Amino acid sequence: MKLLLSLLVAIPLVACNNQATTAKEAHTKSGFKSPGKPSMKVDMDYQISKERVAVGETVDIQFNFKGQAKPSSTKLKASKQLVLHGDNTIKMQKSGSQQPHKFSVTPMTEGIHLVTIIAEDIQQSHQKPFAIRIIAGDKPIEDYLQQNGQLQIDENGEKIISMPAEER
């Protein structure tokens, strides 16, 4: 009787263990991919009048969204020394017209400046940022990039960037 009872208990356990093993094997074979953070399924096309301009020269920018989702509004943000002409919020039309949206910026100093276009869908609370680079000045781009430390070579011949400590 005890033997029969122990067999009745053991058989379902073995069957469950085999199903769990099969599920684990299928899971590792297909691989797990995280869905990531939710974001809008939208892309942006843009055209700029000039990517490299002189200080004080105005740049005209046109942009248009494409993709599955259409944003309900758009926010424009410019870096510190970049003047944005016009309104920094654009209400998007949900109709089928795909007219490009236009605005202008003017760099006030030499360097690399960024215009950030943030597409928003208020109904789903999703945002997706896009950045457009404007270079003001005629120096090579490497001269405008910020250096974070000094490049040194250690005794093994490997390159090391020595960075200063930031005290707070």
113 and 46 within one domain: yes
Rg (Cα) of the chain, in Å, rounded? 28
Same domain, residue pair 89 and 122? yes
Of residues 30 and 136, the one with the higher pLDDT is 136
Number of domains in the chain: 2
Quote the domain boundaries for residue 127: 42-140
CA distance 158 to 163: 16
Residue scoring higher pLDDT (164 or 49)? 49
Parallel, antiparallel, or unpaired: how do β-strands 52-53 and 126-136 relate? parallel
93 and 130 belong to one structural domain: yes
167 falls within a domain: no
**pLDDT at residue 97 in the model:** 58
Kindly state whether residues 59 and 105 are assigned to the same domain: yes
Query: Based on the domain organization, do 132 and 62 belong to the same domain?
Result: yes
**One domain, residues 61 and 20:** no
Q: Is 56 found in the same domain as 124? A: yes
Strand 101-107 versus strand 89-91 pairing type:
unpaired
Determine contact, residues 86/105, Cβ cutoff 8 Å. Answer: no
- Answer whether residue 164 shows pLDDT above 50: yes
Same domain, 73 and 122: yes
CA atoms within 13 A on the CB side of 65: 26
Q: What is the CATH number of the domain that holds 104?
A: 2.60.40.10
Residues 94 and 116 in one domain: yes
Q: Which of 23-37, 73-87, 139-153 has the highest mean pLDDT?
A: 73-87
Of residues 121 and 44, more confidently modeled:
44
Same domain assignment for residues 51 and 127 = yes
Q: Are residues 17 and 53 in the same domain?
A: no
Q: How confident is the model at residue 121 (pLDDT cuts 50, 70, 90)?
A: confident
Give yes or no: residues 20 and 88 share one domain.
Answer: no
Contact criterion met (CB below 8 Å) for 53 and 59: yes
